[in-house]
Structures are given as structure tokens and as C-alpha cells.
Structure 1
């Protein structure tokens, strides 16, 4: 099996894809993390979508880090090019996903997309860090997500090919406004019933507006970011190539840690590092993180200096998806100096086509590789 990850050059936004090919070269799994951009080239995301997926290619997993337009405004284009259906799992950082349908004034693109998902029967799964069953255990097969409306923040998802895992989670201390909102509406509506939510849209909307933080006329109660760790199973061997104007090759695990628009200053970096390290120790024999996303497009207010420290040892190669000239958030060019001084690799993924990053790895069961080597 061949694994391919692409960090697409869409400028100020995010569009990351992972695909799995069988021995005949057929794509058997498609995974997407975010799909959107604020770019000077308005058709750039659509171009990347069309050049990545064949018409009606099925999307198995779609992770949405958060609800800002530069991370979601390409979702409708993604849906028009691919097949998103009842077997697609959409993972979002929100406890009750269908409430997004009443937030159309604040998140119009995402609300419209969630409505579409509801209409076609796709499974929209929210992450709940406080779930009763939020404990480690056997990985959940992707097919087993069908009956779940929420997923605990310590649950690992396994693809059908059993060679690859995904670990989505949030920082639990970021959800205080959500909890207040949920507490007030629980007695009014069944939050897992999309039809009931729509019938009481106006009432729910009024509660939402009184609780949420208002900035620039937009109400926001979702301040979470969905972190996502993508990594090989414990019994997988790999040969990996990485292209980004330079060609890196070697027997490295193509593990990647996506951080969205999180703020990892303070103790945030240490918290997520410990959670990821624990998961890799349990499910992948301590495999190291090879690639890690610099948070929030390289914003100085979200970037912890220790992340560029070579002696940190948590991950090997950083990447930042940004337009260096965009006004919000402002990309802090001093980050480049931080990485350079510490002799640590930083990949800039901008609007330039040649800034795209491609990771291609051959995956096979460990025992098969051992047999091949012995022979």
C-alpha cells in the first residue's frame, strides 16, 4: 500500500489531504483536514481540489479544525467534486454538531455545509473531551463511528486498511462558553435531533447571541481547535520520500501533527506534546512525530519559542501554511530565524505552487518486510 500526504499551496488557509493506494494504484481511502483559503487567487482551492480528486472520489474522513472561513470556504467545492455521503465521517470540534445549523449568521458557509451533510445522511461527529467513555481503548474502526454523535477526546480512529490511525482531540479548557450554551438549551431541545433543532431555530439563536462573545458583529462561542495526529499502526514498516523544493528520503515514519489555529503559548505546547507522546507510545511503539504544523499561520502570539528548539526532540520538521503578506494573523518572519538558528527544518507552504509539500511512503505489514529482507 502507498500513502500520500499533500500540504496544498493555498496561501492563508489550510487544505491538507491524505490518500491511500492499493497495489494496483487505485485510491482506497481519502482523508481531508480543512479546506479553505483567503488568497489573492480566488480559484486556487478549487484548482487543488480538482487536481487531487477524481470526479466523485469518495471522502472517507473529513476533519474540520475550526469554523473560520479560511479553513472551510472550500467545502462546497470539495463536495461538488467528490462524493460525500452517508459513509463519510465529518469530525468537528463541537459537542453538538447540528447546532451549527442555527449559526448561519456567524458561520454561513459551515452552517450551509452541515445542513447539506444532514440532508445526505453523512455522519457529523463532534469531539467531547468530557465524555463518560473518554478513556483509551481499542481503536475505533471508521465504520464504527456511524452510530456516534460524539467522540471522546482520547479515542483513536482506525482506517479500514488497519495500517493507519487518526487521533483527533481538543484542549478541554477551551470549551467553557459551549458548556454554558449547552446547559441553557438542553431543557428546550434534543441536541441530537436536527429536525427539532431546526423547528426551534429562533429560540436557540437568541440564547446563542446572549452567551457568545461578539467581535466585529460576529458571535463566537466556538474557540476550540481540533488537533489531529496522523500516524502508522504499530506493525507497519515504511519507506518515505518528502518533496518540498528539496528531496528528503529515508526510513522515517510519515507521522504528522496538525494544530489548526491553536494557541500553543504558555503550557499549551507541553500539554499537546504529552498527549501525542502518550498516544504514540501506546499505539505506535513510540513512533516520533516527523511533521508538525506551526500554529495559526505563524502568528507570533500563538507560536511557542520552544517549538523551534532542536533539543526539544518532540518532532523533526515544522511547516507553516500562510501568505506572508496577509494582514490577519500577521506571519511573524522571525520564526524563520528561530528555526534556522536551531538548525531545524521549517517548510513554508504559501500560494506558490512550488511550495507544495508531498509525502509519499510505501506501507506494508512489519512481518512482510522482515520476510522480504530475510529472503
Structure 2
């Protein structure tokens, strides 16, 4: 009988989720591939779970920052990656690259920085095989033409099952949405306007503005950046991966406190929803941003049985409505990170609602395995 395995692998402050579909062969789909705790954690899992040159049918990258992408170069070398899906690279993303490079010069030479600058060349420098690159268009900005016109662009909300799993009769959907998140960039610009009152901005913050102000007073620019709550991400791509036929999903976990207190075997079977909503670093704060997410997946919420708490459990990305769902929740965060992830207020809200959750950190015992039949 065909079955599906979903693994949330322990890589600390990052993300590495693998789904395997056992059809005429094993199909593998990955969501995020990186770690700030130690990229070797990602590399070890790649070697443990995949054979050399094993086919990876799709990799979804939530956003182009090191903690979600720095394991991709090793995956490209070790495995045969067929497709990579990522948020479209707009002028706003280029501005983000300039900011990151000024504050951390090493970022421009990192794989994430090189990928933002030229995705195709960044891949070719590692893997000369045929890796298909797909940019997911922003919601509400469908007319934008990317700088790299040779890359195929896909509208948010499309079901990519046929493209990834071929002509299989499996009732499954892969539905990404790319949300443009400008509130923190706007906050950064307002901070700059306060600190540089004589500087005239022609409109939205650009690479030119950041570079010029940095040359004028680098410390003020750094201070303006530090005053922005949370992380200065421009986009975050979410993904629904699941079925509408109410397949049964089982979870196993070796060390989570909830499992230890409720199940001697640390094994739990929840309701039939097999779908997982991967959220990456999505900013769900506030009514509008929550409504954007809710509306985008309006057709799928009844089939969501598992939800990733955004941005490693940061209070700056959390919305209490996210945990109103009857679902299993998980957080990907390092046990000794400096960002207070997951934040105590987030954990408190989850526990007060008596929700089932697990924190997947860098320890192997925190691995989550879902078996879907």
C-alpha cells in the first residue's frame, strides 16, 4: 500500500522538512534546508536519509536567508535535485541584500547572497546538472517582471502536484503562497528618516539610499536596523502540503514533554487531516496579515492537521488566532539561540489553549515523524 512519510528534522535554528511519497519509486519533497546552529546538522541528515545522487523532486525555500538555505549547496552536491521553488526576487529583495551586506559583509559571499544576486549562476557554481528554478509570484503583485527573465514564474496558489509527482493518481496538493512583507522595511525606512532628517527619499527605500546613508554614518544605519522588531525579511513563502481525502496521519516523537506526559510509547494518532501548513518566517501579526493567510488557504483549512509556528516561535511573527485550529503544532528553533525563540508568550498561549505542540531543536530526540496512509 502506498504511504507517505513527513519528517521534521532537528537542525536547531533553521528548518529542514522532508516528505517522501512511496509510489513506483520514492519521491522526495523538501521545505527549507538550512541551520544557523550548525549547517553540519543539515549535512548529516542529508547523508543519513538519502543515497548519493538520489533524486530530490522538489525543494521549497521559504525565504532567502541563511537559516533556511545554507544547507542547499550540500544537498545540490550530494543529491540529484530536480526543482527549486523560491519567492520571486524583486527590487525589494535586492534592497534587503544591500542592507544585509552592509551590516554583514560576509553575507554577499554566502550562498544566500549569491543566490539573490544571480540564482542560476549560484546553482551552476555548485551543480552543472539540469536544476529547474521556479519563482513564486507575490500575492497582489502578479504583474511584476523579475530581473532574471529566463526563470519561470508561477502564480501563488497553484497546485504543483502534477509538476512534482508527475501523472500519479495520488490525491495530494502542493500549494505555495508568496506573501510580500513590507512592514519592517517600512519601519526601517521610518527609522532612517528620523535619524537622517535632511536626507530626501524619492519614495520606497532603495539600495542607493541604504548605501549612501551608510557611507554618511554607518552607526546610525545599524541603530535604525536594530530598532526594527523581529527580522527584516521581505518575503516569506508558505506551503500547504496535503490531501483532501482525509488520510490518517500518525505522529511519533521520542522526547517531547507532551508525549511523555500523555503516552507511554510517545506515540499519538490525531484526527484524519494529513495536510501540513509550512509557514517559514511568515509574519502573522495583526488582523490584516492573519486574514491574508487565512484567505489564501481558505479551501484548505479543513484538511490541515499540522501547522508550523512561524519564525522559530518569535513573538514578533505570532498571532493567537493561528492556534485556534484543531491541529498539531511544531516549532523549529535551536535550544541555545540568542533570539529568545520560541518566546515564552507564544508557548504560554499554546499551552493555555491545551494544544499539542513539539519544539524541534538540534537534538536528535526531538525529531518528528508523520506517517500518512
**2:309 is the alignment partner of 1:294:** yes
Equivalent-residue separation in structure 2 for 1:207 and 1:151 (angstroms): 31
Distance 1:322 1:333, change over 3 A: same
3-state SS in 2 of match to 1:260: coil
Q: Aligned residue for 1:36?
A: 34
3-state SS in 2 of match to 1:225: strand
Q: Aligned residue for 1:238?
A: 247
Equivalent-residue separation in structure 1 for 2:91 and 2:133 (angstroms): 9
Q: Aligned residue for 2:85?
A: 90
3-state SS in 2 of match to 1:170: strand
3-state SS in 2 of match to 1:331: coil
Q: Indicate the larger mover: 347-356 or 206-215.
A: 206-215
Equivalent-residue separation in structure 2 for 1:38 and 1:206 (angstroms): 29
Distance 1:156 1:19, change over 3 A: same
Distance 1:360 1:95, change over 3 A: farther
Q: Aligned residue for 1:346?
A: 357
Q: Deviations over 1:183-203 (max 9, x none)?
A: xxxxxxxxxxxxxxxxxxxxx
Of residues 108, 111, 117, the one that matches 1:109 is: 111
Equivalent-residue separation in structure 2 for 1:94 and 1:174 (angstroms): 14
User: 1:123: how far off?
Assistant: 2.1
Of residues 248, 261, 265, the one that matches 2:285 is: 265
Distance 1:215 1:253, change over 3 A: farther
- Whether the aligned pair in 2 keeps the contact of 1:17 and 1:33 (CA below 8 Å) is yes
Equivalent-residue separation in structure 2 for 1:247 and 1:361 (angstroms): 14
User: 1:279: how far off?
Assistant: 3.3
- Whether the aligned pair in 1 keeps the contact of 2:172 and 2:242 (CA below 8 Å) is yes
RMSD: 3.6
Alignment of 1:21-100 (within 5 A): 21-22=22-23, 26-27=25-26, 29-39=27-37, 43-84=40-81, 87-95=82-90
Equivalent-residue separation in structure 1 for 2:55 and 2:19 (angstroms): 13
Q: Aligned residue for 1:201?
A: none
Alignment of 1:239-258 (within 5 A): 239-245=248-254, 246-249=266-269, 252-258=272-278
- Whether the aligned pair in 2 keeps the contact of 1:156 and 1:165 (CA below 8 Å) is yes
Equivalent-residue separation in structure 2 for 1:42 and 1:166 (angstroms): 27
Give the TM-score normalised by the residue count of structure 1.
0.70
Equivalent-residue separation in structure 2 for 1:205 and 1:75 (angstroms): 26
User: 1:42: how far off?
Assistant: 5.4
User: 1:251: how far off?
Assistant: 5.5
- Whether the aligned pair in 2 keeps the contact of 1:324 and 1:331 (CA below 8 Å) is no
3-state SS in 2 of match to 1:124: strand
- Whether the aligned pair in 1 keeps the contact of 2:92 and 2:234 (CA below 8 Å) is no
Equivalent-residue separation in structure 2 for 1:211 and 1:275 (angstroms): 38
3-state SS in 1 of match to 2:29: strand
**2:181 is the alignment partner of 1:166:** no
Unaligned residue ranges in structure 2 (runs of 5+): 145-149, 187-205, 215-219, 226-230, 255-265
Q: Aligned residue for 1:186?
A: none
- Whether the aligned pair in 1 keeps the contact of 2:331 and 2:342 (CA below 8 Å) is no
- Whether the aligned pair in 1 keeps the contact of 2:246 and 2:272 (CA below 8 Å) is no
User: 1:335: how far off?
Assistant: 2.4
User: 1:19: how far off?
Assistant: 1.0
3-state SS in 2 of match to 1:242: strand
- Whether the aligned pair in 2 keeps the contact of 1:240 and 1:359 (CA below 8 Å) is yes
Count of aligned positions: 307
Distance 1:99 1:265, change over 3 A: closer
Distance 1:211 1:360, change over 3 A: farther
Q: Indicate the larger mover: 167-176 or 314-323.
A: 167-176
Unaligned residue ranges in structure 1 (runs of 5+): 135-146, 179-203, 281-285, 363-375
- Whether the aligned pair in 1 keeps the contact of 2:275 and 2:303 (CA below 8 Å) is yes
Equivalent-residue separation in structure 2 for 1:295 and 1:32 (angstroms): 17
- Whether the aligned pair in 2 keeps the contact of 1:96 and 1:149 (CA below 8 Å) is no
